[in-house]
Structure 1
Amino acid sequence: MGFFRMIDKGKGPVRLFVGGVHGKEGFTAIRALKRLGFNDIRRGKLIIYSCNPTEYLSTLDPNYYMSQQGMEIIGLIEKYRPSTYLEAHCYREESYGRLTDPSRRSRDGVPPLIELERGVLIGSVSPHIRKKLFKREDICLTIEMPCLRSPRDEADGLEVYVNFLKIVASSETREELEERLGRRYPEQVETARRYAREFFGEYPPF
Protein backbone atom coordinates (compact mmCIF):
# COMPACT_ATOMS: atom_id res chain seq x y z
CA MET A 1 0.00 0.00 0.00
CA GLY A 2 2.99 2.30 0.48
CA PHE A 3 3.52 4.72 -2.42
CA PHE A 4 6.24 7.24 -3.27
CA ARG A 5 6.59 9.56 -6.25
CA MET A 6 8.76 12.62 -6.80
CA ILE A 7 7.99 15.11 -9.55
CA ASP A 8 11.10 17.21 -10.03
CA LYS A 9 11.13 20.36 -12.16
CA GLY A 10 14.37 21.73 -10.78
CA LYS A 11 14.83 24.79 -8.64
CA GLY A 12 11.77 26.15 -6.88
CA PRO A 13 9.36 25.44 -4.02
CA VAL A 14 9.20 22.00 -2.46
CA ARG A 15 5.79 20.46 -1.71
CA LEU A 16 5.23 17.32 0.35
CA PHE A 17 1.82 15.60 0.18
CA VAL A 18 1.31 12.70 2.59
CA GLY A 19 -1.62 10.27 2.66
CA GLY A 20 -2.51 7.27 4.78
CA VAL A 21 -1.36 9.10 7.90
CA HIS A 22 -3.26 6.75 10.18
CA GLY A 23 -5.49 3.73 10.01
CA LYS A 24 -6.54 2.70 6.50
CA GLU A 25 -6.98 6.22 5.13
CA GLY A 26 -4.44 5.54 2.43
CA PHE A 27 -6.91 3.39 0.48
CA THR A 28 -8.94 6.56 -0.17
CA ALA A 29 -6.17 9.16 -0.30
CA ILE A 30 -4.15 7.23 -2.86
CA ARG A 31 -7.04 7.49 -5.32
CA ALA A 32 -6.56 11.24 -5.35
CA LEU A 33 -2.80 11.44 -4.88
CA LYS A 34 -2.13 9.24 -7.92
CA ARG A 35 -3.96 11.76 -10.09
CA LEU A 36 -1.29 14.38 -9.49
CA GLY A 37 1.18 14.53 -12.33
CA PHE A 38 4.09 16.30 -13.99
CA ASN A 39 1.98 19.17 -15.30
CA ASP A 40 0.55 20.07 -11.89
CA ILE A 41 3.60 22.12 -10.89
CA ARG A 42 5.47 24.78 -12.88
CA ARG A 43 8.80 24.47 -11.07
CA GLY A 44 10.30 22.96 -7.96
CA LYS A 45 9.41 19.56 -6.54
CA LEU A 46 6.29 17.67 -5.53
CA ILE A 47 6.88 14.66 -3.28
CA ILE A 48 3.91 12.32 -2.83
CA TYR A 49 3.98 9.67 -0.14
CA SER A 50 1.26 7.34 1.08
CA CYS A 51 1.91 5.36 4.25
CA ASN A 52 1.14 1.71 4.85
CA PRO A 53 -2.00 0.92 6.91
CA THR A 54 -1.54 1.05 10.67
CA GLU A 55 -3.62 1.07 13.83
CA TYR A 56 -5.43 4.39 14.13
CA LEU A 57 -3.76 6.99 16.34
CA SER A 58 -4.75 10.64 16.09
CA THR A 59 -2.14 13.18 15.02
CA LEU A 60 -3.49 15.34 17.85
CA ASP A 61 -2.01 12.79 20.25
CA PRO A 62 1.65 13.73 20.90
CA ASN A 63 2.45 10.00 21.01
CA TYR A 64 1.67 9.84 17.29
CA TYR A 65 4.99 11.47 16.46
CA MET A 66 6.84 8.86 18.48
CA SER A 67 5.21 6.04 16.48
CA GLN A 68 6.92 4.53 13.45
CA GLN A 69 4.45 6.26 11.13
CA GLY A 70 4.88 9.60 12.84
CA MET A 71 8.66 9.35 12.77
CA GLU A 72 8.55 8.48 9.05
CA ILE A 73 6.59 11.65 8.36
CA ILE A 74 8.89 13.81 10.47
CA GLY A 75 11.82 12.22 8.64
CA LEU A 76 10.33 13.22 5.27
CA ILE A 77 9.73 16.79 6.48
CA GLU A 78 13.28 17.10 7.81
CA LYS A 79 14.78 15.58 4.64
CA TYR A 80 12.92 17.65 2.04
CA ARG A 81 12.14 20.83 4.06
CA PRO A 82 8.91 21.60 2.17
CA SER A 83 7.40 25.07 2.08
CA THR A 84 4.06 23.37 1.34
CA TYR A 85 2.98 20.40 3.45
CA LEU A 86 -0.39 18.71 2.98
CA GLU A 87 -1.93 15.71 4.71
CA ALA A 88 -4.58 13.84 2.70
CA HIS A 89 -7.06 12.20 5.08
CA CYS A 90 -10.51 10.63 4.97
CA TYR A 91 -13.19 10.27 7.64
CA ARG A 92 -16.11 8.04 8.47
CA GLU A 93 -19.35 9.79 7.61
CA GLU A 94 -20.57 9.53 11.20
CA SER A 95 -17.54 11.62 12.25
CA TYR A 96 -18.59 14.64 10.16
CA GLY A 97 -20.39 16.36 13.03
CA ARG A 98 -17.49 15.91 15.45
CA LEU A 99 -14.92 17.23 12.96
CA THR A 100 -16.92 20.35 12.08
CA ASP A 101 -18.36 21.02 15.55
CA PRO A 102 -17.64 24.62 16.69
CA SER A 103 -16.84 23.21 20.14
CA ARG A 104 -14.00 21.10 18.71
CA ARG A 105 -11.46 23.59 19.99
CA SER A 106 -12.56 23.23 23.59
CA ARG A 107 -12.97 19.46 23.24
CA ASP A 108 -9.93 18.51 21.13
CA GLY A 109 -7.75 21.60 21.35
CA VAL A 110 -7.95 22.55 17.64
CA PRO A 111 -10.38 24.55 15.48
CA PRO A 112 -13.15 22.71 13.61
CA LEU A 113 -12.59 21.66 10.02
CA ILE A 114 -14.28 23.72 7.30
CA GLU A 115 -16.38 22.23 4.53
CA LEU A 116 -15.51 23.33 1.01
CA GLU A 117 -18.34 21.40 -0.67
CA ARG A 118 -19.64 17.83 -1.06
CA GLY A 119 -18.28 16.73 2.30
CA VAL A 120 -14.68 17.77 1.60
CA LEU A 121 -13.17 19.41 4.69
CA ILE A 122 -10.01 21.46 5.20
CA GLY A 123 -8.02 22.70 8.16
CA SER A 124 -4.50 23.05 9.46
CA VAL A 125 -2.17 20.19 10.30
CA SER A 126 -1.55 19.13 13.89
CA PRO A 127 -0.14 21.94 16.04
CA HIS A 128 2.41 19.41 17.32
CA ILE A 129 4.30 19.85 14.03
CA ARG A 130 2.97 23.16 12.65
CA LYS A 131 5.01 25.40 14.93
CA LYS A 132 7.96 23.09 15.47
CA LEU A 133 8.81 22.11 11.90
CA PHE A 134 7.53 24.92 9.68
CA LYS A 135 7.97 28.64 9.13
CA ARG A 136 5.18 31.18 9.54
CA GLU A 137 4.80 31.68 5.79
CA ASP A 138 4.72 27.96 4.94
CA ILE A 139 1.53 26.32 3.68
CA CYS A 140 0.36 23.54 6.02
CA LEU A 141 -3.02 21.99 5.28
CA THR A 142 -5.17 19.00 6.05
CA ILE A 143 -7.87 17.84 3.63
CA GLU A 144 -10.50 15.21 4.39
CA MET A 145 -13.31 13.49 2.50
CA PRO A 146 -15.61 10.58 3.38
CA CYS A 147 -13.64 7.33 3.18
CA LEU A 148 -14.34 5.10 0.19
CA ARG A 149 -15.39 1.61 1.23
CA SER A 150 -13.95 -0.27 -1.75
CA PRO A 151 -11.64 0.43 -4.72
CA ARG A 152 -14.71 0.65 -6.99
CA ASP A 153 -16.54 3.21 -4.86
CA GLU A 154 -17.19 6.59 -6.37
CA ALA A 155 -17.83 9.75 -4.37
CA ASP A 156 -19.05 13.19 -5.33
CA GLY A 157 -16.32 14.71 -3.22
CA LEU A 158 -13.44 12.96 -4.97
CA GLU A 159 -13.27 15.51 -7.80
CA VAL A 160 -13.41 18.39 -5.30
CA TYR A 161 -10.63 16.69 -3.32
CA VAL A 162 -8.43 16.20 -6.40
CA ASN A 163 -9.02 19.76 -7.64
CA PHE A 164 -8.01 21.12 -4.25
CA LEU A 165 -4.80 19.08 -4.32
CA LYS A 166 -4.01 20.44 -7.77
CA ILE A 167 -4.58 24.06 -6.68
CA VAL A 168 -2.31 23.59 -3.68
CA ALA A 169 0.36 21.84 -5.75
CA SER A 170 0.43 24.56 -8.40
CA SER A 171 0.50 27.49 -5.93
CA GLU A 172 3.97 28.69 -5.00
CA THR A 173 3.18 30.96 -2.03
CA ARG A 174 0.55 31.16 0.69
CA GLU A 175 -0.64 34.48 -0.75
CA GLU A 176 -1.15 32.94 -4.21
CA LEU A 177 -3.01 29.98 -2.73
CA GLU A 178 -5.33 32.15 -0.63
CA GLU A 179 -6.09 34.37 -3.62
CA ARG A 180 -6.93 31.41 -5.88
CA LEU A 181 -9.02 29.59 -3.29
CA GLY A 182 -10.67 32.84 -2.24
CA ARG A 183 -12.16 33.27 -5.71
CA ARG A 184 -13.88 29.89 -5.43
CA TYR A 185 -14.46 29.58 -1.69
CA PRO A 186 -14.52 33.13 -0.25
CA GLU A 187 -16.45 32.31 2.93
CA GLN A 188 -14.35 29.25 3.71
CA VAL A 189 -11.07 31.11 3.21
CA GLU A 190 -12.20 33.94 5.47
CA THR A 191 -13.28 31.42 8.12
CA ALA A 192 -9.88 29.69 7.86
CA ARG A 193 -8.12 33.03 8.36
CA ARG A 194 -10.25 33.76 11.42
CA TYR A 195 -9.62 30.34 12.96
CA ALA A 196 -5.88 30.76 12.36
CA ARG A 197 -5.82 34.18 14.05
CA GLU A 198 -7.80 32.88 17.02
CA PHE A 199 -5.74 29.72 17.43
CA PHE A 200 -2.21 30.80 16.47
CA GLY A 201 -2.34 34.50 17.34
CA GLU A 202 0.52 36.22 15.56
CA TYR A 203 1.52 32.94 13.93
CA PRO A 204 -1.28 32.58 11.40
CA PRO A 205 -0.95 29.74 8.93
CA PHE A 206 -3.76 29.59 6.37
Structure 2
Amino acid sequence: MGFFRLIDKGDGPVRLFVGGVHGREGLTTIRALRRLGFNDIDNGRLIIYSCNPTPYISTLNPDYYRSPQGREILRLIEKYRPSTYLEAHCYRRESYDKLTDPSRKSSEGVPPLIELEEGVLIGSVSPHIRKKLFKRDDICLTVEMPCLDGGSDRSLDVYVEFLRTVASSESRKELELRLEGRYPVQVETARRYAREFFGEYPPF
Protein backbone atom coordinates (compact mmCIF):
# COMPACT_ATOMS: atom_id res chain seq x y z
CA MET A 1 0.00 0.00 0.00
CA GLY A 2 3.05 2.27 0.20
CA PHE A 3 3.00 4.94 -2.49
CA PHE A 4 5.53 7.48 -3.78
CA ARG A 5 5.15 10.09 -6.51
CA LEU A 6 7.49 12.93 -7.44
CA ILE A 7 6.16 15.72 -9.65
CA ASP A 8 8.97 17.98 -10.83
CA LYS A 9 8.35 21.23 -12.68
CA GLY A 10 11.75 22.81 -12.17
CA ASP A 11 12.55 25.80 -9.99
CA GLY A 12 10.05 26.80 -7.33
CA PRO A 13 8.79 25.76 -3.93
CA VAL A 14 9.18 22.19 -2.71
CA ARG A 15 6.09 20.56 -1.19
CA LEU A 16 6.11 17.29 0.73
CA PHE A 17 2.77 15.58 1.43
CA VAL A 18 2.87 12.53 3.69
CA GLY A 19 -0.11 10.27 4.39
CA GLY A 20 -0.74 7.22 6.55
CA VAL A 21 1.60 8.59 9.20
CA HIS A 22 0.50 6.08 11.83
CA GLY A 23 -1.79 3.12 12.25
CA ARG A 24 -3.94 2.23 9.24
CA GLU A 25 -4.75 5.80 8.18
CA GLY A 26 -3.10 5.25 4.84
CA LEU A 27 -5.95 3.00 3.73
CA THR A 28 -8.07 6.17 3.63
CA THR A 29 -5.60 8.96 2.87
CA ILE A 30 -4.10 7.23 -0.17
CA ARG A 31 -7.47 7.70 -1.90
CA ALA A 32 -6.92 11.45 -1.70
CA LEU A 33 -3.19 11.51 -2.37
CA ARG A 34 -3.57 9.46 -5.55
CA ARG A 35 -5.85 12.16 -6.95
CA LEU A 36 -3.03 14.72 -6.93
CA GLY A 37 -1.19 14.99 -10.20
CA PHE A 38 0.98 16.93 -12.63
CA ASN A 39 -1.52 19.75 -13.14
CA ASP A 40 -1.82 20.56 -9.44
CA ILE A 41 1.37 22.65 -9.35
CA ASP A 42 2.68 25.26 -11.79
CA ASN A 43 6.33 25.09 -10.74
CA GLY A 44 8.66 23.56 -8.20
CA ARG A 45 8.21 20.03 -6.90
CA LEU A 46 5.50 18.03 -5.18
CA ILE A 47 6.58 14.86 -3.37
CA ILE A 48 3.78 12.54 -2.29
CA TYR A 49 4.48 9.67 0.10
CA SER A 50 1.97 7.29 1.65
CA CYS A 51 3.20 5.08 4.46
CA ASN A 52 2.48 1.41 4.99
CA PRO A 53 0.38 0.47 8.06
CA THR A 54 2.34 0.67 11.32
CA PRO A 55 1.54 0.44 15.02
CA TYR A 56 -0.20 3.62 16.16
CA ILE A 57 1.99 6.15 17.99
CA SER A 58 0.78 9.74 18.24
CA THR A 59 2.98 12.34 16.55
CA LEU A 60 2.53 14.35 19.76
CA ASN A 61 4.60 11.65 21.48
CA PRO A 62 8.34 12.34 21.00
CA ASP A 63 8.86 8.56 20.75
CA TYR A 64 7.12 8.68 17.36
CA TYR A 65 10.17 10.28 15.79
CA ARG A 66 12.35 7.48 17.14
CA SER A 67 10.14 4.83 15.52
CA PRO A 68 11.04 3.42 12.06
CA GLN A 69 8.18 5.35 10.44
CA GLY A 70 9.03 8.57 12.27
CA ARG A 71 12.68 8.29 11.25
CA GLU A 72 11.64 7.72 7.62
CA ILE A 73 9.60 10.93 7.65
CA LEU A 74 12.51 12.84 9.15
CA ARG A 75 14.74 11.50 6.37
CA LEU A 76 12.26 12.71 3.74
CA ILE A 77 12.19 16.19 5.30
CA GLU A 78 15.99 16.31 5.46
CA LYS A 79 16.34 15.08 1.87
CA TYR A 80 13.82 17.39 0.19
CA ARG A 81 13.83 20.36 2.62
CA PRO A 82 10.26 21.39 1.77
CA SER A 83 8.88 24.87 2.36
CA THR A 84 5.42 23.24 2.43
CA TYR A 85 4.95 20.15 4.58
CA LEU A 86 1.51 18.54 4.93
CA GLU A 87 0.48 15.46 6.87
CA ALA A 88 -2.67 13.74 5.60
CA HIS A 89 -4.50 11.94 8.40
CA CYS A 90 -7.89 10.38 9.06
CA TYR A 91 -9.82 9.89 12.30
CA ARG A 92 -12.63 7.75 13.63
CA ARG A 93 -15.91 9.57 14.16
CA GLU A 94 -15.80 8.92 17.91
CA SER A 95 -12.54 10.92 18.07
CA TYR A 96 -14.06 14.10 16.62
CA ASP A 97 -14.95 15.69 19.96
CA LYS A 98 -11.50 15.00 21.39
CA LEU A 99 -9.71 16.47 18.36
CA THR A 100 -11.81 19.65 18.34
CA ASP A 101 -12.14 20.04 22.12
CA PRO A 102 -11.44 23.70 23.09
CA SER A 103 -9.53 22.37 26.14
CA ARG A 104 -7.22 20.22 23.99
CA LYS A 105 -4.30 22.50 24.78
CA SER A 106 -4.64 21.61 28.47
CA SER A 107 -5.16 17.90 27.89
CA GLU A 108 -2.87 17.27 24.89
CA GLY A 109 -0.57 20.29 24.87
CA VAL A 110 -1.70 21.54 21.43
CA PRO A 111 -4.60 23.66 20.13
CA PRO A 112 -7.77 21.94 18.90
CA LEU A 113 -8.19 21.13 15.24
CA ILE A 114 -10.54 23.34 13.23
CA GLU A 115 -13.33 22.04 11.01
CA LEU A 116 -13.49 23.41 7.49
CA GLU A 117 -16.64 21.52 6.45
CA GLU A 118 -17.93 17.96 6.07
CA GLY A 119 -15.80 16.76 8.98
CA VAL A 120 -12.50 17.85 7.39
CA LEU A 121 -10.21 19.25 10.11
CA ILE A 122 -7.01 21.30 9.92
CA GLY A 123 -4.26 22.27 12.33
CA SER A 124 -0.50 22.52 12.62
CA VAL A 125 1.91 19.58 12.51
CA SER A 126 3.46 18.31 15.72
CA PRO A 127 5.39 20.96 17.65
CA HIS A 128 8.19 18.38 17.97
CA ILE A 129 9.12 19.11 14.35
CA ARG A 130 7.48 22.48 13.58
CA LYS A 131 10.07 24.72 15.22
CA LYS A 132 13.02 22.39 14.88
CA LEU A 133 12.87 21.57 11.17
CA PHE A 134 11.00 24.44 9.51
CA LYS A 135 11.28 28.19 9.09
CA ARG A 136 8.72 30.65 10.38
CA ASP A 137 7.14 31.28 6.95
CA ASP A 138 7.01 27.65 5.88
CA ILE A 139 3.59 26.03 5.46
CA CYS A 140 3.20 23.17 7.95
CA LEU A 141 -0.26 21.66 8.15
CA THR A 142 -2.14 18.64 9.38
CA VAL A 143 -5.41 17.80 7.63
CA GLU A 144 -7.82 15.10 8.82
CA MET A 145 -10.93 13.51 7.38
CA PRO A 146 -13.20 10.75 8.71
CA CYS A 147 -11.67 7.33 8.00
CA LEU A 148 -13.23 5.08 5.38
CA ASP A 149 -15.70 3.47 7.75
CA GLY A 150 -17.21 6.82 8.69
CA GLY A 151 -16.36 9.12 5.80
CA SER A 152 -18.28 10.17 2.74
CA ASP A 153 -17.54 11.12 -0.85
CA ARG A 154 -18.26 14.73 0.09
CA SER A 155 -15.65 14.62 2.87
CA LEU A 156 -13.14 13.18 0.43
CA ASP A 157 -13.91 15.90 -2.14
CA VAL A 158 -13.37 18.68 0.43
CA TYR A 159 -10.18 16.98 1.58
CA VAL A 160 -8.77 16.68 -1.95
CA GLU A 161 -9.69 20.26 -2.78
CA PHE A 162 -7.83 21.43 0.32
CA LEU A 163 -4.77 19.39 -0.68
CA ARG A 164 -4.85 20.94 -4.14
CA THR A 165 -5.15 24.45 -2.72
CA VAL A 166 -2.10 23.88 -0.52
CA ALA A 167 -0.12 22.26 -3.35
CA SER A 168 -0.80 25.10 -5.79
CA SER A 169 0.03 27.90 -3.32
CA GLU A 170 3.58 29.20 -3.53
CA SER A 171 3.73 30.91 -0.13
CA ARG A 172 1.99 30.94 3.21
CA LYS A 173 0.61 34.39 2.49
CA GLU A 174 -0.93 33.21 -0.79
CA LEU A 175 -2.44 30.16 0.90
CA GLU A 176 -3.97 32.24 3.69
CA LEU A 177 -5.55 34.66 1.22
CA ARG A 178 -7.02 31.84 -0.85
CA LEU A 179 -8.43 29.99 2.15
CA GLU A 180 -9.69 33.20 3.73
CA GLY A 181 -12.04 33.72 0.81
CA ARG A 182 -13.82 30.42 1.50
CA TYR A 183 -13.18 29.86 5.21
CA PRO A 184 -12.75 33.30 6.84
CA VAL A 185 -13.77 32.23 10.35
CA GLN A 186 -11.58 29.15 10.30
CA VAL A 187 -8.52 31.07 9.05
CA GLU A 188 -8.91 33.71 11.75
CA THR A 189 -9.30 30.99 14.38
CA ALA A 190 -6.13 29.30 13.11
CA ARG A 191 -4.25 32.59 13.36
CA ARG A 192 -5.46 33.09 16.93
CA TYR A 193 -4.45 29.58 17.95
CA ALA A 194 -1.03 30.14 16.37
CA ARG A 195 -0.46 33.37 18.27
CA GLU A 196 -1.55 31.79 21.55
CA PHE A 197 0.53 28.65 21.08
CA PHE A 198 3.62 29.74 19.13
CA GLY A 199 3.83 33.42 20.03
CA GLU A 200 6.02 35.08 17.43
CA TYR A 201 6.45 31.81 15.54
CA PRO A 202 3.06 31.27 13.87
CA PRO A 203 2.69 28.03 11.90
CA PHE A 204 -0.32 29.26 9.89
User: Does the pair score TM above 0.5?
Assistant: yes
2:144 matched residue in structure 1: 144
Q: Which runs of 4+ in 1 moved over 4 A?
A: none
Cα distance in 2 for partners of 1:154, 1:24 equals 18
* Equivalence map 1:1-206=2 (5 Å): 1-149=1-149, 154-206=152-204
Task: State TM-score, norm by structure 1.
Answer: 0.98
TM-score, normalised relative to structure 2: 0.99
Contact 1:148-1:155 at 8 Å conserved across structures? no
SS of the residue 1:187 aligns to? helix
CA deviation map 1:144-185 (0-9, x unaligned): 0000039xx743210000000000000000000000000000
RMSD: 1.0
Q: Secondary structure at the match of 2:86?
A: strand
Partner-residue secondary structure (3-state), 1:5: strand
Once residues 165 and 156 of structure 1 are traced to their aligned partners in structure 2, the CA distance between those partners, rounded to angstroms, is 14
- In 2, Cα distance between the equivalents of 1:44 and 1:156? 30
Contact 1:136 1:205 in 2 (8 A): yes
Provide the rounded CA distance (Å) in 2 between the counterparts of 1:35 and 1:19. Answer: 13
Question: Among the aligned pairs, what percent are the same residue?
Answer: 78
Q: Partners of 1:65 and 1:132 in 2: how far apart? A: 12
CA–CA distance in 1 between the matches of 2:149 and 2:65? Answer: 27
Q: Retained in 2: the 8 A contact 1:20–1:53?
A: yes
Q: Is the 8 A contact 1:122 1:143 kept in 2?
A: yes
Structure 1 unaligned spans of 5+: none
Aligned amino acid, residue 195 of structure 2: R
Q: CA deviation at 1:205?
A: 1.2
Please give the alpha-carbon distance, in whole angstroms, between the structure 2 residues aligned to 1:149 and 1:107.
27
